[in-house]
Amino acid sequence: MKKNHPPFGLGTRRSFFGRFASGAAALSILVRGRAQPAPRKLGIAIAGLGGYATGQLAPALKLTQHVEIRGVVTGSLDKGRQWAREFGFPENYIYSYDKMSRLADNRDIDIVYVVTPNALHLAHASAAAWAGKHVICEKPLALTVSECNAMMAACRANKVKLSVGYRLQFEPHFNELKRLARDGDFGAFKTMSGGLSFRMTRPQWRAERKLAGGGPLMDLGIYAVQAACMAAGANPVAITARELPKRRPEFFRDVEETIEWTMEFANGAKGAFSTSYDQGLDRFRAEGDKGWFELAPAFQYGALKANTSRGPFTPAAVPPSQQAVQIDNFAQCVREGRESPVSGEMGRRDMVILEAIYKSAAERGKRIEIAV
C-alpha cells in the first residue's frame, strides 16, 4: 500500500528542527551541569602599609574569594617590595603617594583600600577616585564632615563606589544584634552602654591631632557609635558629652585621653558610652522591655562573646577573618553595580556624631541636637 508522503521537505524540516531542539536542550542541560569558570577576581591595592595593613589586611587578602592584591601604595619602596614578593605582583605595581594618578593606567587594579593616617584619607581616597578606582577607606572616613563631603563628591564625579572599613557590620554577632533590633525579640532597645578603651604606652600618630584629628573617640569610640545605631535601628537626635581630666597630659598634649558621651534617639532610647587611651574596656550592652543582649569582648578582631537574657548566643559559623568578609562584600557590590551597605554616607553620618560629641565636650556638656 502506498504511503501518503508530505510535501517535499516538510517532513525533513520538521525532523531537522525537532532534532535541533532536542540537541539544543541537551546541550543546555550539559552546559548548566558543567562547572562554569569562576569570575575574575577584582584587583585591590593597599595604600598604607602600617600595622593594620600588615597584621590584618594581608592575612585577610589570602582568604578573600572575590579579591586579590595586585599592588600597593607606600612611602617605602622596601616595604612595597616585601609585599610584591609575598603576593606575587610585579614591582612596577608599587606606587608612591605622589604618583597615585598612575593607577589610572593599571587595568589590573580595580579597588584601592586607604589605610593611611586619618588626616591623609581625603587626599588618598580622592586620588584613587580620580584614577578611576573604587575606594575602601578605613574609619573614620575623614577628619571632618566637610572632608567626608569632598571625598564623596570625588567618588561621585568619577562614578566609583566608596565604602568604609566597618568590618563589624558583617560580623555574625553584630548581625544578630541588628536582627534583634529589627524583629523586636527583646522589644525595642531603650538602654545601651559600653565602649572600647586600651592603655596607650608609646607615642604614635593616633595621639597627634594633626594626623588623627582627635584621640580615642576617632580611633575607638566610633565602634560604640556604630553599635548604638545598630541596636537602635536609627540615628541619634542629640548628644551630650564630657572630657575627663587627663592623667597623663604630657602624653596626650592635644587630644583627649578619656571622653564620655550620651546618645539620644527619637523613640526615647539612650546610650551611655566611654572611650579612653588610659584604661581597659571592650563591652556593649543593649536592653529592651523583654530582654537584653551583651557582647564582651565586643569590638576586637575575633573571638567575640555574646550573652542574652535567654542564654548565650553562639553563631552557627564565625568567619576566620572579619576583614576578608568585609572586602569580599565590597567586591561583590562593585561587580553587581550596587551600593555598599557601609557606604560613604554611613561614614559621614558617624562623623556628624563625632563632631557633636567633641562640640558638647568643648561646651561643658551642652546638649547638641543633630540631624543625620
Question: Residue 206: pLDDT above 70?
Answer: yes
Judged on CB neighbours under 10 Å (0-12, 13-18, 19+), 357 is buried
Q: What is the pLDDT of residue 36?
A: 61
Residue 1: per-residue pLDDT: 39
Burial class (CB in 10 A: 0-12, 13-18, 19+), 311: exposed
Which residues make beta-bridge pairs with 134? Answer: 111
Residue 21 has pLDDT above 70, yes or no: no
pLDDT band (50, 70, 90) for residue 37: low
What confidence tier does 35 reach under pLDDT thresholds 50, 70, 90? low
Which grid cell is 198? Answer: 586600651
pLDDT at 222 over 60: yes
Domain parsing of the chain, residue ranges? 42-167, 172-318+342-369
Question: Is the pLDDT score of 331 beyond 50?
Answer: yes
Share of the chain above pLDDT 90, in %: 88
Pick the more confident residue, 143 or 302.
143
Question: What is the CATH architecture of 42-167?
Answer: 3-Layer(aba) Sandwich (3.40)
Q: Is the pLDDT of residue 193 over 90?
A: yes
β-partners of residue 68 are: 43
The percent of the chain in helix, strand and coil, each rounded to the nearest 5, is: 40, 20, 35
The pLDDT confidence band at residue 335, using thresholds 50, 70 and 90, is very high
Q: Checking phi first, is residue 9 left (phi over 0); if not, alpha (psi -120 to 50) or beta?
A: left
Angle formed by the axes of helices 145-157 and 344-362, to 10°? Answer: 170
72 contact partners, CB below 8 Å, separation of at least 6 = 45, 46, 47, 49, 79, 80, 83, 84, 93, 94, 95
Which of the four pLDDT bands, split at 50, 70 and 90, describes residue 39? confident
CB 104 within 8 A of CB 300: no
| Cell numbers describing residue 175 | 548581625
Average pLDDT over residues 274-301: 98
Separation CA 305–CA 285 (nearest Å): 12
Question: How many angstroms separate the CA atoms of 244 and 125, rounded?
Answer: 34
Cβ neighbours of residue 362 closer than 8 Å, sequence gap 6 or more: none
> What mean pLDDT do residues 104-109 have?
98
pLDDT at residue 307 greater than cutoff 50: yes
pLDDT at 135 exceeding the cut of 80 = yes
pLDDT of 10 higher than 90: no
Residue 21 CB neighbour total at 10 angstroms: 10
Q: Chain-wide mean pLDDT for the chain?
A: 92
For residue 194, the one-letter residue type is G
The pLDDT of residue 372 is 86
Grid cell, residue 367, equals 546638649
Mean pLDDT of 252-262: 97
Report the C-alpha gap between 332 and 165 in whole angstroms: 15
pLDDT-derived band at 18 (thresholds 50, 70, 90) equals: very low
Task: Tell me the CATH number for domain 172-318+342-369.
Answer: 3.30.360.10
Residue 23 has pLDDT above 80, yes or no: no
Predicted pLDDT of residue 14: 36
Report which DSSP code applies to 102.
G
104 close to 197: Cβ distance less than 8 angstroms: no
Residue 208 C-beta-side C-alpha neighbours within 13 Å: 9
16 pLDDT more than 60? no
Report the pLDDT averaged over residues 79-90: 98
Residue 97 — very low, low, confident or very high, per pLDDT cuts 50/70/90?
Answer: very high
Average pLDDT of the residues in 178-182? 98
DSSP state of 54: I
Q: How confident is the model at residue 314 (pLDDT cuts 50, 70, 90)?
A: very high
